Amino acid sequence: MTDTGQRAETAEESRASRASRSSAAARAAGRGARGAGRAAGNGARATRQAGGWVRARITRRRALVACAYAVAWLAFAVPIALVLFFTSSATTTVASHDSVVRPTTDHYATLHTGPFLPDVRAPVSGPVGVDITLGKTETTSAEGLVERYAFIASQPDAQVERVERLVRRMAYDAALRGAVLGAVPILVWVAVGKRRRRELVGRLDPRHPTGVLLGVGLALVLAAVLVSQPWESRDPMLADTTDWQSLPDYVPEVTVPREAQQVQVSVNSTTYETKRLVLSAIDTFRRSKQFYAAAALATENLDLRQPAEGETVALMVSDRHDNIGMDPVARAIADKAGATAILNAGDDTSTGQAWEAFSLDSLDKAFRDYDQRFSVLGNHDHGSFVEAYLEDLGWTVGTGEVVEGPGGGRLLAFNDPRSSGLGNWRDEPGLSIDELASKIADVACESDVRVNTLLVHDSDMATEALRRGCVDIALSGHVHVQVGPNPVRGLDARRGYTYTNGTTGGAAYALAVGSKLRRPAEVTLVTYRDGRPVGLQPVTLQTNGVFEVGDWLPLHFD
């Protein structure tokens, strides 16, 4: 082989060698790049994992801190709320008295009655007891007051509900204040900050003079609060009633009704006259309970007209005059007749004062589930209390406007402008009855839709509206006896009716509280068809406990 050929072959080999080395270097570089990429990826994943672990740790730490704050808040809030609740008091009307109500932990409902009667108490089923101190009331004699107590005790549900609502509201208020006050230390702790907290803790070192003074001062303040108990507000005039005796043991000479077997009586410094009052109260309680319970039960046998398809029945009451015993009887009659609305022609009280709230509570409890509850004020309800109280309970009271009434008809109701007390006298401030009758007629006659029911206390208030022929029927009370239904031909020849219900409370004058009825008690069932009244049926409970069911009286319109 020539030199020229050898040199060419050598050059070719050199080029191949260089190409091979370049390819190997490229492959090595690729492997390095891939390794670096994998390393970078692994590093990124490690960084992400580390970051996630840190974030998770921070999240757990924050959750633990939040839980610690929540536990600390509960540790402050719950004791504060309990202290506030069990040291609080509220005023309300109980058993016709302005009363102070306090929650207790003794599982008793205790009633401090004042100087004439011993205190009484009875066990309660719930975890919280109640202490009730009776204040002022309206009464003419101790005997009358005792009779009222016994009568209210025979129908106690409305009064019990009133106290329960008040205690629940006190518990809610205490819980709310405890929640707010319990958050104050937590907020202060956060606001002070970690560095400042360490400085303060350092000053509380027992070896530090300032810490010693602060520690001793806080201990003294806490001891003073615990010893003095500034929240304790017991009336120092109240006797220490720690000696209790069951009612059957207190008056073994009589048979105590089953409902009163668990009642206990405070027996310190009890006199013979006081025991006589208690015996009188037991007798009133027993006779009242038996009379009205038997009457309510007897309604099951009454032959009352039942509403036909498309008809609506409303129960009419008037002149209850605090007779809460008749409320469950009236409701039983309404249920038997299929009534779904109530029309109240007024005089639920005797004087219209706040001490008579027990009467309104009882009426409301009996008919609370009715969607339509209409009422007017009578002359004995005069004042601001009765109207505002009934409205708060959800009743529609003497609006003076045409509204939807029973059966979809139109109803107009006006209050009596007069005021009366326990006698038969009457004041007439503002509008007279004649002037009010003219105003009522104007409202009724100007209505775009005919007024089907005019609800007033005194029938004289409806005379002008009937004379003009603007209402179907005027329902009233006031005179304590049934009058009508009487047809009235208006100026436009349209017929209307006037009807007066007797006293539902069986009242003589303004008094109806007692162990039995003072005179016959009446309610009336008013039937509506297509919104118009089409019939009346009076039901009367006699003083001997016997019912008289009147005929269903049809109403005819032109």
SS (H, E, C) 67-78: HHHHHHHHHHHH
| Structure tokens belonging to residue 376 | 């007017």
Are 459 and 476 in contact by the 8 Å Cβ rule? The answer is: yes
Residue 514, beta-bridge partner list: none
The enclosing H or E element of 334 equals helix 326-337
Cα separation, 412 vs 255, in Å, equals 51
Print pLDDT tens along the chain (558 aa).
555 555 555 555 556 555 555 555 556 555 555 555 565 555 555 555 655 666 667 677 777 777 877 887 787 778 888 888 888 878 777 766 667 888 888 878 777 776 556 777 777 877 888 877 776 666 555 555 666 666 566 667 777 777 788 888 888 888 888 888 777 777 776 776 767 666 666 555 555 544 544 554 455 445 445 444 555 555 544 444 457 766 666 666 666 666 666 776 777 655 555 666 666 666 666 677 778 888 889 999 999 999 998 899 999 999 988 888 888 999 999 999 999 999 999 888 888 877 788 888 889 988 999 999 999 998 888 878 888 889 888 999 988 888 999 999 999 999 888 754 433 334 445 567 788 888 999 999 988 889 999 999 988 898 999 999 899 999 999 888 899 899 988 777 688 899 999 999 888 766 656 567 778 999 999 999 988 999 999 999 998 888 999 999 999 887
Sequential DSSP letters for 128-195 = -EEEEEE-----S-HHHHHHHHHHHHHS-HHHHHHHHHHHHHHHHHHHHHHHHHHHHHHHHHHHH-HH
Whether a cis peptide bond, with omega within 30° of 0, leads into 485 is yes
Measured CA distances, 168 to 110, 129, 174, 393 (Å) = 17, 12, 10, 17
pLDDT on residue 41: 57
pLDDT on residue 543: 86
pLDDT on residue 501: 94
Closest CA to 538 of 308, 330, 311: 330
Whether a cis peptide bond, with omega within 30° of 0, leads into 123 is no
Cα separation, 377 vs 291, in Å, equals 28
Cα separation, 129 vs 221, in Å, equals 31
| Structure tokens belonging to residue 377 | 């004020």
pLDDT on residue 97: 66
pTM for the model: 0.66
Cα separation, 434 vs 460, in Å, equals 8
pLDDT on residue 117: 67
Cα separation, 406 vs 387, in Å, equals 21
- Count of Cβ atoms closer than 10 Å to residue 556 Cβ: 9
Question: What's the angle, vertex CA 19, arms to CA 17 and CA 24, rounded to 5?
Answer: 95
Cα 489 to the center of its chain, rounded Å? 46
